[in-house]
Amino acid sequence: MYKTLSSFIEKLDSTVSNLYQKDFLLTWEKSYGELETILTLAEALKYLRDHNISARCFDSGLAISQFRDNSTRTRFSFASAANLLGLAVQDLDEGKSQIAHGETVRETSAMISFLSDIIGIRDDMFLGEGNAYMREVGAALDEAFADGVLPQRPGIINLQCDIDHPTQSMADLLHLKTQFGSLENLKGKKIAMTWAYSPSYGKPLSVPQGIIGLMTRFGMQVDLAYPEGYGLIPEVAEQAGKQADESGGNFRIVNSMEEAFQDADIVYPKSWAPFHVMKRRTEFLRKNDHDALKGLEKECLANNARFKGWECTEEKMKLTRQGKALYLHCLPADISGVSCREGEVAATVFERYRVPLYKQAGFKPYIIAAMMLANRFENPADVLHIMAEDKVKRRM
Amino acid sequence: MYKTLSSFIEKLDSTVSNLYQKDFLLTWEKSYGELETILTLAEALKYLRDHNISARCFDSGLAISQFRDNSTRTRFSFASAANLLGLAVQDLDEGKSQIAHGETVRETSAMISFLSDIIGIRDDMFLGEGNAYMREVGAALDEAFADGVLPQRPGIINLQCDIDHPTQSMADLLHLKTQFGSLENLKGKKIAMTWAYSPSYGKPLSVPQGIIGLMTRFGMQVDLAYPEGYGLIPEVAEQAGKQADESGGNFRIVNSMEEAFQDADIVYPKSWAPFHVMKRRTEFLRKNDHDALKGLEKECLANNARFKGWECTEEKMKLTRQGKALYLHCLPADISGVSCREGEVAATVFERYRVPLYKQAGFKPYIIAAMMLANRFENPADVLHIMAEDKVKRRM
Amino acid sequence: MYKTLSSFIEKLDSTVSNLYQKDFLLTWEKSYGELETILTLAEALKYLRDHNISARCFDSGLAISQFRDNSTRTRFSFASAANLLGLAVQDLDEGKSQIAHGETVRETSAMISFLSDIIGIRDDMFLGEGNAYMREVGAALDEAFADGVLPQRPGIINLQCDIDHPTQSMADLLHLKTQFGSLENLKGKKIAMTWAYSPSYGKPLSVPQGIIGLMTRFGMQVDLAYPEGYGLIPEVAEQAGKQADESGGNFRIVNSMEEAFQDADIVYPKSWAPFHVMKRRTEFLRKNDHDALKGLEKECLANNARFKGWECTEEKMKLTRQGKALYLHCLPADISGVSCREGEVAATVFERYRVPLYKQAGFKPYIIAAMMLANRFENPADVLHIMAEDKVKRRM
């Protein structure tokens, strides 16, 4: 057992990484080594837990969660991660409709942080708002720490914003690493991140953006597919292109699900609202224009309905490499005939991939715990070393 | 002190029990030895706490609570039990009106369980639903564990369903054991589980069912009394009769509170809604037929009002053995002239039994903790042994 | 490092104090030595935390919070304090509009306390209610403990009532002690506790009452200033006067902000609703008379508007000692041109004092933790001694 832990510790020791006291807001702000560090730490923490060894590195301390949108699985992942390391969760519940800014953010950020180690934020409802809010909180914490108001500067973890969903995409990446054996093995693999039909409206862009923003780092062939008009934030697509060039991979946008699925090793069919719709939505919300919002919703659902063909069917799965591409989803999926009449994926396809899908989700608590640990400890390898030496049982 | 703990450990060692990794859903699914094990463990945990010895057997871990109906005392009992053993509580709050089934239950059950040890569920609003829901969650967990999705299979504890309320009835039993000296001493004792008038409507059947389903195991004379038409689930009454036969006790249904009180050693007067009303109510709820529901409520309250004589008065108490039967209630009671004009019990009766009633309630946290511990540890006696040896102080 | 802790321990050893198992409801019920003990303990706990030494004195246990009014900073302070000492927080959420009394309070108090160490209560909405409610809970706990229902009697901490806000005023006092070097140095200092204009209505009286009820203990010159008709509870003002006489200080009421600010060393401009208005409001609330409540609000806001001149401006600050009085506020403040058009304080004044204000707020978690510790341990110095010896790291 110690042998495996040793290999994680060696891996951490040999990886250049600078995550200590840095917020985790966008994966593309992190170096390759830093992403590797998070994956290694997550694997090590999972290994410890699976072998009933305590991963508590905090005797006490708070992890604050602020969910400005509903969440079950991320909420439980965050709570699990905090608990695994010894932190207690305290919710900051302002009511999700409120977009607080300025003085309130500056003051509240300091007030909740006197004895806090981590602040996890989900704020994905409004384009241009979520990530900006996280940075505003971060700036307030920097200021409070510099002024001596806070004895330490809590780390921020992005639990989904308007731009990225790094705890999701990193959990997805760890799943791929596990399924394909190594990050190196992902080189040259084709992943199809494609829009899919859903009978709902206003789903955030952060998952597809997170996927193209992360998978292009590993030399993969990344196809982003959507019906005309369903584009993502242009800057994120640009970033993906640049990264693909640098990593020896490829990034292209196509307007056909079939084209993206062709010879794909991995498919990720998932609905989202078009960028320009989300922009208009945010404007109407700012103006509190409910009639315009209703109109927009109606218009959007009608437009969506033109693309019911964008479903991940058995036929389309046959187009993938040997008909056996790995199917991914961040869950919950809109399953045709199960959770809705017509949706993102055929029931038989979903059913065949249920087990790997759930395993994919099971990485998230460890990814979040890894982000927490890397933020609070300058040398995570030392922390693992102590845990491996002490071998405190998690369960008596 | 160690002497007392030793006796608990010996008792556990000599009791045949198979509670490890088994959900606790209905007391009548558990063997006599298993019920004894829960009682012994609860007593041991109370003993440890009272002597300021830590009962933490978890260094970290989550206990999930899902309350699909309001609760204060069970909520606090669950939180106390989890905390006593070292688990942190995480609420799963779906909104209580929602009856989720199928895919959602299957998926959510796995998603909340990656690092969870215990799931406590209260779901008592709809006849035919609550216990079935718990089994659905259990099946989903079994599947996820078998598929390798979950590294462990969390245990489920029934915090009250439509059929049974085992944490209540077991706490009641521990109270009786304490009051009468031993389980053996309960043999031949008469307990009157009787309906009582309340100005409210729709109270679950789980408490009276839980009581007749448990107390018939111990050779007691169990009288179930209710006005005609206020019957319980027929299968539970049948089960009670069968158990009374096996245990050398007696079970009968009478339609008079006085008859049940006659020479009773214990009385448990408590309101509930008739079985057939609860059935109609569930049908109307499924159809979302609010007019029918209103009509049913009106009809029921009118019918209840015919039985205002079903009150636990001083006069009726005089009928009991030497006029001194032990009065039980799961609390809160509808006390005549205090919490309502006319209710389940006269104020003077309630007042005289307030202290034992509160002690009765005080067993619940320990019963829940015992169920948690027995579910997670193959050999609870060993766990107690370690606690007795280590003697870690609960409070410094 | 041990030297500093030793000095705290010596200080505690030499201070006569009787806080063990006593609720903390009003500062003026506590002796000078007891107030000193809380301050010393709070400083010691902060010192431990700042030096990464664990202050856990509980292996497990619950701290219950009951917020009958909204709160962010006190909620987080309470959670931080509980966590620092090793207690888990469990919320008792009855809905804030409900004023439960009598049987319900008596019973609920026992039911939530079987394994609880601390109960923190905020109940500040209704004059004549909040403090009375806390005492009612206390009496119920006394009774349950005397009757053997509870194995221990949890301590109550007033997290703000209609009369006092002791965790706030004690945090303010620790701030003053830190700023001026010692309690002795506060002798002769002038503090202006003054009403200030706010565009809102119905703010509790507990902060100004808490300040005059505490600061008059330390030989300070306490000026309470408000427009005619904005008086506090008369008994509290009387108490303040008596205390000022005893401590060699001074207490007077003036009807001019300028007069209070003149040569003040400390200013605390803060809005509140007049005593007689709060009394009428409570009456209307009891009668559920919504029209009368609306009328009262309108009348009050109109009356408030006559006193927009009561703003802490740069001009008024110039009146204070060398123009440099320390500005205090319990936060959040109504800042003119920032959080409202016209408010309690000019933006430039607030901005200049932002850092000390936030530091003032940062003492609250430690004050609450000190109150918890003093309530649960007969000899807090011994507890600190063990912590200093063991030197368990808070963070690995």
Those chains having 3 or more beta-carbon pairs within 8 angstroms of chain A are B, C
In angstroms, the CA A135 to CA C110 distance is 46
Classify C91 as helix, strand or coil. strand
Contact C270, C344 (CB under 8 A): yes
Judging contacts by C-beta atoms under 8 Å, the chain B residues touching residue C89 are none
For A228-285, how does the pLDDT look when each residue is reduced to its tens digit (9 = 90+)? 999 999 999 999 999 999 999 999 999 999 999 999 999 999 999 998 888 898 888 8
Which of B60, B92, B383 lies closest to A83 in CB terms?
B60
- Confidence at residue C24, expressed as pLDDT on a 0 to 100 scale: 98
User: Which among B96, B98, B130 has a CA at the least distance from the CA of B25?
Assistant: B130
Q: Tell if the CB–CB gap between C79 and A58 is shorter than 8 Å.
A: no
Q: Could you write out the DSSP letters of every residue in C218-252? A: GT-EEEEE--TT----HHHHHHHHHHHHHHT-EEE
For B92-106, how does the pLDDT look when each residue is reduced to its tens digit (9 = 90+)? 987 543 456 677 899
Contact A317, A269 (CB under 8 A): no
Point out which residues pair with B221 in neighbouring strands.
B190, B250
In angstroms, the CA C1 to CA C93 distance is 42
DSSP letter (8 states) at residue B53 = B
In the predicted model, residues of chain C with pLDDT beneath 50 are 96-98
Q: CA neighbours within 13 Å on the CB side: how many for A125? A: 16
Judging contacts by C-beta atoms under 8 Å, the chain C residues touching residue B338 are 102-103
Task: Give the C-alpha distances (Å, rounded to integers) separating A302 from A195, B143, B330, C189.
Answer: 16, 39, 54, 71
In angstroms, the CA C231 to CA C40 distance is 33
Contact B275, B127 (CB under 8 A): yes
A216: how many CB neighbours lie within 10 A of its CB? 26
- Confidence at residue B96, expressed as pLDDT on a 0 to 100 scale: 42
Instruction: Say whether the peptide bond before residue B332 is cis (omega within 30 degrees of 0).
Output: yes
Contact B235, B350 (CB under 8 A): no
Task: Give the C-alpha distances (Å, rounded to integers) separating C11 from A188, C36, C37, C61, C363.
Answer: 69, 9, 8, 28, 19
- Confidence at residue B287, expressed as pLDDT on a 0 to 100 scale: 87
Judging contacts by C-beta atoms under 8 Å, the chain C residues touching residue B332 are 104, 107
Q: Tell if the CB–CB gap between B362 and C150 is shorter than 8 Å.
A: yes
Judging contacts by C-beta atoms under 8 Å, the chain A residues touching residue C80 are 62, 114-116
In angstroms, the CA B32 to CA B16 distance is 9
Point out which residues pair with C191 in neighbouring strands.
C222, C266
Judging contacts by C-beta atoms under 8 Å, the chain A residues touching residue C56 are 59-60
- Distance from the C366 Cα atom to the nearest Cα atom in chain A, whole angstroms: 10
Residue B1 pLDDT greater than 70, yes or no:
no
In angstroms, the CA C267 to CA C53 distance is 36
Which of A50, A354, A392 lies closest to B59 in CB terms?
A392
Contact B105, B140 (CB under 8 A): yes
User: Which among A105, A107, A134 has a CA at the least distance from the CA of A118?
Assistant: A134
- Confidence at residue B95, expressed as pLDDT on a 0 to 100 scale: 58
In angstroms, the CA C122 to CA C195 distance is 22
Contact B153, B22 (CB under 8 A): no
- Distance from the B78 Cα atom to the nearest Cα atom in chain A, whole angstroms: 17
Where does residue C218 fall: left (phi above 0), alpha (psi -120 to 50 degrees), or beta otherwise? alpha
Q: Tell if the CB–CB gap between B331 and C149 is shorter than 8 Å.
A: no
Contact A24, A371 (CB under 8 A): yes
How many residues can be counted in chain A?
Answer: 396
For B348-390, how does the pLDDT look when each residue is reduced to its tens digit (9 = 90+)? 999 999 999 999 999 999 999 999 999 999 999 999 999 999 9
In angstroms, the CA B282 to CA B293 distance is 9
- Which residue out of A83, A178, A357, A366 would a mutagenesis test of the B interface target, given it has the greatest number of B Cβ atoms within 10 Å? A83
Q: Tell if the CB–CB gap between A359 and B148 is shorter than 8 Å.
A: yes
- Confidence at residue A2, expressed as pLDDT on a 0 to 100 scale: 65
In angstroms, the CA B105 to CA C159 distance is 40
Q: CA neighbours within 13 Å on the CB side: how many for B379? A: 8
Task: Name the residue of chain B whose CA is nearest to A54's CA.
Answer: B59
Q: Could you write out the DSSP letters of every residue in A183-202? A: SGGGTT-EEEEEE---S---
Q: Tell if the CB–CB gap between A377 and C396 is shorter than 8 Å.
A: yes
Judging contacts by C-beta atoms under 8 Å, the chain C residues touching residue A115 are 49, 80, 83-84, 365
- Confidence at residue A95, expressed as pLDDT on a 0 to 100 scale: 58
Classify C114 as helix, strand or coil. coil
Contact C250, C221 (CB under 8 A): yes
- CA torsion sign for C41, C42, C48, C54 is positive
Contact B195, B10 (CB under 8 A): no
In angstroms, the CA B130 to CA B123 distance is 5
Q: Mean per-residue pLDDT for B19-31?
A: 98
Contact B387, B53 (CB under 8 A): yes
Judging contacts by C-beta atoms under 8 Å, the chain A residues touching residue B108 are 72
Judging contacts by C-beta atoms under 8 Å, the chain C residues touching residue A112 are 72-73, 76
Instruction: Say whether the peptide bond before residue C332 is cis (omega within 30 degrees of 0).
Output: yes
Helix (H) or strand (E) holding C158: strand C155-161
- Confidence at residue A101, expressed as pLDDT on a 0 to 100 scale: 67
Starting at the earlier edge strand, list the strands of the sheet with C190-195.
C250-254, C221-225, C190-195, C266-270, C326-327
- Which residue out of B80, B91, B179, B338 would a mutagenesis test of the C interface target, given it has the greatest number of C Cβ atoms within 10 Å? B80
Judging contacts by C-beta atoms under 8 Å, the chain A residues touching residue B149 are 355, 358-359, 362
Q: Return the higher-pLDDT residue of B94 and A374.
A: A374
In angstroms, the CA B253 to CA B236 distance is 12
Burial B213-247 (b: 16+ CB within 10 A, else e): bbbbbbbbbbbbbbbeebbbbeebbebbbebbeeb
Q: Is A234 exposed, middle or buried (0-12, 13-18, 19+ CB in 10 A)?
A: exposed
Classify A352 as helix, strand or coil. helix
- Confidence at residue B376, expressed as pLDDT on a 0 to 100 scale: 98
Task: Name the residue of chain A whose CA is nearest to B390's CA.
Answer: A396
Q: Could you write out the DSSP letters of every residue in B297-365? A: HHHHHHHHHTTTT--B-HHHHHTSGGG-PEE---S---BBTTTBSS-SB-HHHHHHTHHHHHHHHHTHH
Residue A114 pLDDT greater than 80, yes or no:
yes
pTM of the model: 0.97
Average model confidence (pLDDT) for chain B?
95
Query: Would you list which residues of chain A are within 8 Å, Cβ to Cβ, of chain B?
Result: 49-50, 54-56, 72-73, 76-77, 79-80, 83-84, 86, 88-89, 331-332, 335, 338-339, 354-355, 358-359, 361-362, 365, 392-396
User: Which among C203, C193, C196 has a CA at the least distance from the CA of C244?
Assistant: C193
Where in chain A does DSSP place strands (E)? Answer: 62-67, 88-91, 116-123, 155-161, 190-195, 221-225, 250-254, 266-270, 326-327
For B310-356, how does the pLDDT look when each residue is reduced to its tens digit (9 = 90+)? 999 999 999 999 999 999 999 999 999 998 999 999 999 999 999 99
What domains appear along chain A, each with residue ranges and CATH number? Answer: 2-164+364-390 (3.40.50.1370), 168-361 (3.40.50.1370)
User: Which among B68, B115, B74, B124 has a CA at the least distance from the CA of B92?
Assistant: B68
Question: If pLDDT is split at 50, 70 and 90, which confidence band does B200 have?
Answer: confident
Q: Is B341 exposed, middle or buried (0-12, 13-18, 19+ CB in 10 A)?
A: exposed
Those chains having 3 or more beta-carbon pairs within 8 angstroms of chain C are A, B
At residue B361, what are phi and psi to the nearest 5 degrees? -65, -30
Q: Tell if the CB–CB gap between C332 and A104 is shorter than 8 Å.
A: yes
Question: If pLDDT is split at 50, 70 and 90, which confidence band does A97 have?
Answer: very low
Judging contacts by C-beta atoms under 8 Å, the chain C residues touching residue A58 are 394-396
- Confidence at residue A71, expressed as pLDDT on a 0 to 100 scale: 84
Contact A339, A333 (CB under 8 A): yes
Q: Tell if the CB–CB gap between C114 and B77 is shorter than 8 Å.
A: yes
Tokens of A376: 């609070």
Task: Give the C-alpha distances (Å, rounded to integers) separating A376 from A14, A23, A184, C396.
Answer: 19, 10, 29, 10
In angstroms, the CA A266 to CA A173 distance is 11
For A200-235, how does the pLDDT look when each residue is reduced to its tens digit (9 = 90+)? 888 999 999 999 999 999 999 999 999 999 999 999
- Which residue out of C115, C149, C389 would a mutagenesis test of the B interface target, given it has the greatest number of B Cβ atoms within 10 Å? C115
The amino acid sitting at A210 is G
CA gyration radius, chain C: 21
In angstroms, the CA A393 to CA C194 distance is 57
User: Which among C81, B53, B393, B80 has a CA at the least distance from the CA of A60?
Assistant: C81
Classify C49 as helix, strand or coil. helix
Residue B123 pLDDT greater than 50, yes or no:
yes
Tokens of C357: 């204000």
Task: Name the residue of chain C whose CA is nearest to B70's CA.
Answer: C94
Residue A181 pLDDT greater than 90, yes or no:
yes
Range of lowest pLDDT (A87-101, A137-151, A303-317): A87-101
Q: Tell if the CB–CB gap between A395 and B151 is shorter than 8 Å.
A: no
Judging contacts by C-beta atoms under 8 Å, the chain A residues touching residue B386 are 396
